[in-house]
Amino acid sequence: MMDDRFDDLLRDSAREYNDPPETPREELWQRIVAAREAEKATPKEVLPFRRLRTIRAGRPLSWAAGIAAVLALGIGLGRMTVKRPASVATSAPVPSATAAPRVSGVAYRVATTEHLSQSEAFLTLFRASVRGKGNEQLASATARQLLATNRLLLDSPAGADARTRLLLQDLELVLAEIAQLSPQPKSRDLQLITEGMEQGGVLSRLRTAVPAGTSATQGAL
Amino acid sequence: MEERELISRVLAGDPSAERALYDAHVDRVFRLAFRMAGDMDRAQDYTQETFIRAFSRLETFRGDAALSTWLGSIAISVTLNGLRKVRRLNEREVGLDDFTPAGHTRPEAEPDLKTRLNQAIDDLPEGYRAVFVMHDVEGYTHEEIGASLGVHPGTSKAQLFRARARLRQALADFAKD
């Protein structure tokens, strides 16, 4: 068969590639309106995480270990460099977490961004698995890892930002529910978890908090 | 209503203008997201995210290109970014292998041309797949693709050429028939 004819055949056949169904206009519009309302309802302080997301993680557990290490480094540096108040009671204010060195602030932001990005991808896959035949037992294991990191972040200066704290708290609830799933969960339990995610707008808020990738189009955004 | 007027009304906070803008562009955005994701949930997520970003950044739209092109650039960025995240997690989490990855929703079937072609398109490098889907499947021009992906139209043409060559190679046994 000639190349040109084969190209024509390719084009014709390719039109059926992932053939989209009719656009669920109303459903999508309701979701957009709800997500925008949820966004307006939270404090306006936007997470300054842009450009910090290019960090790449490696093996399955290494990213979690990396986050923990970054947190530990941040906390350690903070403790080493922040002056403690004198033992004699004075009226001097106790240094706040924001007085910690700049490097720890960056470390917390990096760790939080990576964690939110991982959580978003995980919840997206989890939701897809509810419709198909997922492996909830292993999903629970992943949820437990994310939950541990989430709690570390909540107790760190990363949780000082009101919007981040609210998001981490809502995320904690969802992750805890998944972590506690039985090996053979009832479909009703799975449904409740996904409904909770939808109602709280957790996924869309995660996407808003996590910056766009470093694709060539980023400038347009 | 003219596009410029529609944008002004959206920026002024007119909800009916927001809906009109959404109605005018949602099909194109959704189709692209679905073609790339091959999954209803993700296509809806990416479409939703595209419009949320578009509404929040509309004031930065300068009008150098058509609004549809600007929206297309957001849509493809959101979609590729989302697919990358899913792919990274799939690669890391062996335990999540049972989750359905993007573009692999087809049942095992006789390897006819369509099935093999779908698989070959799925296997294309990300950039090639985006250009091939946008041009050969969805009918975007190279100028639109270039603007959406932030590359020169000539680069888009070159990538399409390479994508087709790879598909031809993957389907070589069909080409002989």
pLDDT given at position A70: 60
Residue B19: closest C-alpha in chain A = A29
What is the model's pLDDT at position B97? 47
* Domain contains A1: no
| Predicted TM-score (pTM) of this structure | 0.59
Q: Which residues contact B99 (CB under 8 A, 6 or more apart)?
A: A125, A126, A128, A129, A132, A134, A135, B90
Q: How does residue B113 score in pLDDT terms, banded at 50, 70 and 90?
A: confident
Domain holding A204, by residue range, is 49-80+99-211
Neighboring chain A residues of B84 at a CB cutoff of 8 Å: 213
Domains contained in chain B, CATH given: 1-105 (1.10.1740.10), 106-177 (1.10.10.10)
Q: Which residues of B touch A139 (CB under 8 A)?
A: 95-96
What pLDDT shows up at residue A212?
60
A176 part of a folded domain:
yes
| Closest CB from A11, A204, A221 relative to B77 | A221
Q: By CA distance, what is B105's nearest residue in A?
A: A18
User: How many Å apart are CA A75 and CA B1, to the nearest integer?
Assistant: 56
Q: Which of A29, A59, A133 is closest, CB to CB, to B22?
A: A29
Distance CA(A6)–CA(A169), nearest Å, equals 55
Question: Contact, A38 vs A203, CB < 8 A?
Answer: no
Considering the domain boundaries, does residue A9 fall inside one?
Answer: no
Do A63 and B43 lie within an 8 Å CB cutoff?
Answer: no
In a domain, A177, yes or no: yes
Q: Give residue B114's Cα distance to chain centre.
A: 20
If you write DSSP's letter for every residue of B19-33 in order, what string do you get?
A: HHHHHHHHHHHHHHH
Per the CB < 8 A criterion, the answer to whether B52 and A204 are in contact is yes
Give the integer Cα–Cα distance in Å for B174 and A4: 14
CB contact under 8 A, A10 and B89: no
Backbone angles phi, psi at A49, to 5 degrees: -100, 0
Of A13, A125, A132, the CB nearest to B114: A13
Q: Decide if A44 is inside a domain.
A: no
Dihedral of the alpha carbons of A195, A198, A203, A207, in degrees to the nearest 10 = 170
CA distance A213 to B57: 16
CA distance B108 to chain A (A): 15
- CA-based nearest distance B160→chain A, Å: 12
* Residue of chain A whose alpha carbon sits nearest to that of B177: A1
**Cross-chain residue pair B100–A128, CB shorter than 8 Å:** yes
Q: Please give the Cα distance from A148 to B2 (Å, whole number).
A: 52
Is A10 a member of any domain? no
Q: Mind listing the pLDDT tens digit for each residue in B5-62? A: 999 999 999 999 999 999 999 999 999 999 999 999 999 999 999 999 999 999 989 8
ipTM over 0.90: no
For chain A, the domain total comes to 1
Residue A201 lies in a domain: yes
Instruction: Tell if the CB–CB gap between A18 and B177 is shorter than 8 Å.
Output: no
Q: What is the mean pLDDT of each run of 10 residues along chain A (221 residues)?
A: 71 88 96 87 50 39 56 59 47 46 70 88 81 65 85 83 84 82 73 76 81 43 38
Query: Contact A221/B73, CB-based, under 8 Å?
Result: yes
Query: Is residue B110 over pLDDT 60?
Result: no
Q: Write the residue in B51, B103, B136 that is nearest to A18 by C-beta.
A: B103
Question: Tokens 């979701």 appear where?
Answer: A31
* Residue of B42, B77, B156 for testing the chain A interface, max A β-carbons within 10 Å: B77
Asked if B26 and A6 come within 8 Å (Cβ–Cβ), the reply is no
Q: Considering the domain boundaries, does residue A18 fall inside one? A: no
Q: What is the pLDDT of residues B125-158, one digit of tens each?
A: 999 999 999 999 999 999 999 998 888 999 999 9
* Tens-digit pLDDT profile for residues B84-105: 888 877 776 655 444 444 544 4
Nearest to B176 among A1, A133, A207 (CB): A1
> Taking CB atoms and an 8 Å cutoff, what residues of chain A touch B151?
216
Taking an 8 Å cut-off on Cβ atoms, the answer to whether A213 and B84 are in contact is yes
B112 or B24, greater pLDDT: B24
User: What pLDDT was estimated at residue A55?
Assistant: 38
pLDDT for res A219 = 35
Whole-number Å distance between alpha carbons of B104 and B115:
11
Interface contact B100-A63, CB threshold 8 A? no
